[in-house]
Amino acid sequence: MCGVVGFIGSENTAEILFNGLKTLEYRGYDSAGLALCQNNSFHILKAVGKLENLLREMQKNTSLDATMGIGHIRWATHGAPSLANAHPHISNDGKTVLVHNGIIENYKELKADLSAKGYRFSSDTDTEVAVVQIEDELKSAASFPQAVRQAMQKFRGAFAFLIMNKDNPQMLVAAKRNAPLLVGRGEKGMMAASDVPALAGHVSKFAYLDDDELALLSPQGMVFQNAQGSVFTKPLQVLSLSQEALSKNGFDHFMLKEINEQPAIVRSLLQRFLVQGKIVMPSFNLSAQEIENLTKIEIVACGTSLHAATVGKYVIEELADIPVEVEAASEYIYRKHPKNNNILLIGVSQSGETADTISAVKLAKQRGAHVLVLTNREDSSLVRFADSVLGLNAGLEISVAATKSYTAQLMMFYLLALYLTQERKTQQHDVLQKLQKNLMAVPVQMEEILADTKSVQRCAEKYAKAQDFIYVSRGVNVATALEGALKLKEISYINANAYPAGELKHGPIALLDEKMPVLSVLMPGSPNYDKLLSNSQEAKARHARLIAVTSARDKNLKSLFDDVLQVPEVPEILSPLTANIPLQLLAYFMANKLGRDVDKPRNLAKSVTVE
Ligand code: M6R
């Protein structure tokens, strides 16, 4: 999604803005731009495509030496990626310039009113309407910030704005509603951005703006105003993002670095929640009685988080004996929900900024559900609607393809299921103890997989030319198949579909021939294993090329499957934690082999802030 960055101070503004935009690249974008204020005039540079194209524009303008500026990366929503639609956008009189993350939902009505007043528009964007609206408000407002506040009252939707006005050359206005925006104070000046990484290295202290707040940045400091224009103070927090979190740390890609961080993340979650043989969750604000009274759990999420939720459903139902419904957040918000008290609604989101998930959580809250949020960003918008929060603590995930956050979500669901089970006393003590012991072994088992990735690499080389892929499994690993297929699609652009293996014969089997690889996730220890072997035989009979991800040491597998990716033995219920790693690596190596932009796949955004 879009990202904004702004700076006012004594350093080379263009460079600071460009580097800030680089750190926001992970959000996904298709054009970029800067507006620099120098000697009271604006210089606007834009480019379609990657930031390198914007850099080329900057190199043509090396004489620019601005002390205030705003920058933007755009992920097209209203209008194609083009120079006309790229931000910054400028008012008709050329005096006000603005960058925007979010969507002004009522922009069509506003545009019609402004057009009737004689204003002209040169882009298809909702953002240009915002800057022209501010221009119009400036005619009646006593000050630039007041014009921004007046305009904000007319906007519906989401926005994080950075705005400059020629008549106020010492002021950069930051304002927001329903989209994240941070402001920070550094030695060389003040900064604002959509996310923390853009501030790192320039700012020592920062604050998140709340909805309908403004920050007026000057080279000397910042002043906060509320929607009525009253000035207030806001505590600043120390910015502690390490350079290590922002670097690839010797890996070729962030995705590979993040895959390799997974054992440590699992270990630290276990240390945090497993204390002397008991699961402790102090931030889960339901009493034992309320947990006992729960009649249903609903889980809403999108994409990879939805797959983690699917594992969560399986594990909670299996252990804690509570009915669980999992639904794509984008569907949850558009259907009727029969009245039901004693519901726990779990919203799962790596970023905590996914618009669909936020809307679903808001809806559930209105219905009176207790809202538990599982997120990697405890500073995110989603957290504001939560009654309880479980932070994933997986560290900043930069690669657009979610990997370590998925593993952290899985782990959190296992811990939550164990906690609910412990509180509801639905399993024998020794069952819980055994599962805890098995969970404690997982980090080392993950390390084993990561220590030798040659067989996955060979497999990736062999199948990289495939046009399509099918992933199948049964039981708890249907989610693993779904997630593996999503990962492959996202970063290699190979069409990959996942099914419960039993569904193969109800249609998808028609696709099978010698060109179609079918990957099965099959773990011994349940009837699923034998059933999956039969399903694999059926695929083999149609000449499909077969790959297995398994912990079985059965020699006969070699005669059925063309390739076997071995994982360590874990109880089937925990196997999504280990089985997923070869699938992440397979997608990674295939995408790399195909020369794809692994960390920044086309068309995708890290946090999807539109519904
Ligand atoms: O930040 P969230 O977990 O809410 O994001 C949900 C999806 O947009 C996200 O998982 C997406 O599917 C990723 N690109 C997966 O790799």
Q: Which pLDDT tens digit goes with each residue over 323-351? A: 999 999 999 988 888 777 789 999 999 99
Is 2 among the residues known to form the active site?
yes
User: In this predicted structure, what is the pLDDT of residue 590?
Assistant: 98
270-319: per-residue pLDDT in tens?
A: 999 999 999 999 999 999 999 999 999 999 999 999 999 999 999 999 99
Residue 606 CA, ligand 1 centroid: distance in Å: 7
> Which residue, chain included where needed, has tokens 């069952």?
431
Residue 296 CA, ligand 1 centroid: distance in Å: 25
550-600: per-residue pLDDT in tens?
A: 999 988 899 999 999 999 999 999 999 999 999 999 999 999 999 999 998
Residue 611 CA, ligand 1 centroid: distance in Å: 13
Distances from the Cα of 463 to the Cαs of 157, 219, 484, 591, 594, in angstroms?
45, 56, 15, 11, 11
Atom number in ligand 1 closest to CA 487: 16
497-508: per-residue pLDDT in tens?
A: 999 999 999 999
Is 600 among the residues known to form the active site?
no
Residue 390 CA, ligand 1 centroid: distance in Å: 18
Per the rule left: phi > 0, alpha: psi between -120 and 50, beta: everything else, 123 is beta
Test site for ligand 1: of 350, 358, 377, most ligand atoms within 8 A of the Cβ: 350
Atom number in ligand 1 closest to CA 375: 3
How far does Cα 528 stand from its chain's mean position? 32
125-173: per-residue pLDDT in tens?
A: 999 999 999 999 999 999 999 999 999 999 999 899 999 999 999 999 9
- CA 298/CA 288 separation, integer angstroms: 19
- CA 410/CA 399 separation, integer angstroms: 19
Q: Which residue has a Cα nearest atom 12 of ligand 1?
A: 303
Nearest by Cα to 571 from 306, 318, 309 = 318
Atom number in ligand 1 closest to CA 604: 14
- Kindly report the number of other CB atoms within 10 A of residue 505's CB atom: 12
User: In this predicted structure, what is the pLDDT of residue 380?
Assistant: 86
Q: HEC states along 54-107?
A: HHHHHHCCCCCCCCEEEEEEECCCCCCCCCCCCCCEECCCCCEEEEEEEEECCH
Residues lining ligand 1, Cβ inside 6 A: 302-305, 349-351, 354, 357, 400-402, 490, 604, 607-608
Q: Which residue has a Cα nearest atom 9 of ligand 1?
A: 303
- CA 185/CA 172 separation, integer angstroms: 13
User: In this predicted structure, what is the pLDDT of residue 83?
Assistant: 92
Nearest by Cα to 172 from 268, 69, 100 = 69
What integer best gives the mean pLDDT of the chain? 94
Residue 105 CA, ligand 1 centroid: distance in Å: 23
Active-site residue among 46, 313, 487, 606?
Answer: 606
Residue 438 CA, ligand 1 centroid: distance in Å: 28
- Kindly report the number of other CB atoms within 10 A of residue 67's CB atom: 19
User: In this predicted structure, what is the pLDDT of residue 432?
Assistant: 93
Test site for ligand 1: of 608, 609, 610, 611, most ligand atoms within 8 A of the Cβ: 608
User: In this predicted structure, what is the pLDDT of residue 201?
Assistant: 87
Nearest by Cα to 498 from 522, 515, 474 = 474
pTM of the model: 0.84
Strands 296-301 and 324-328: parallel
User: In this predicted structure, what is the pLDDT of residue 65?
Assistant: 82
Test site for ligand 1: of 254, 299, 302, most ligand atoms within 8 A of the Cβ: 302
User: In this predicted structure, what is the pLDDT of residue 604?
Assistant: 87
Mean pLDDT of 247-261: 95
Nearest by Cα to 24 from 599, 459, 464 = 599
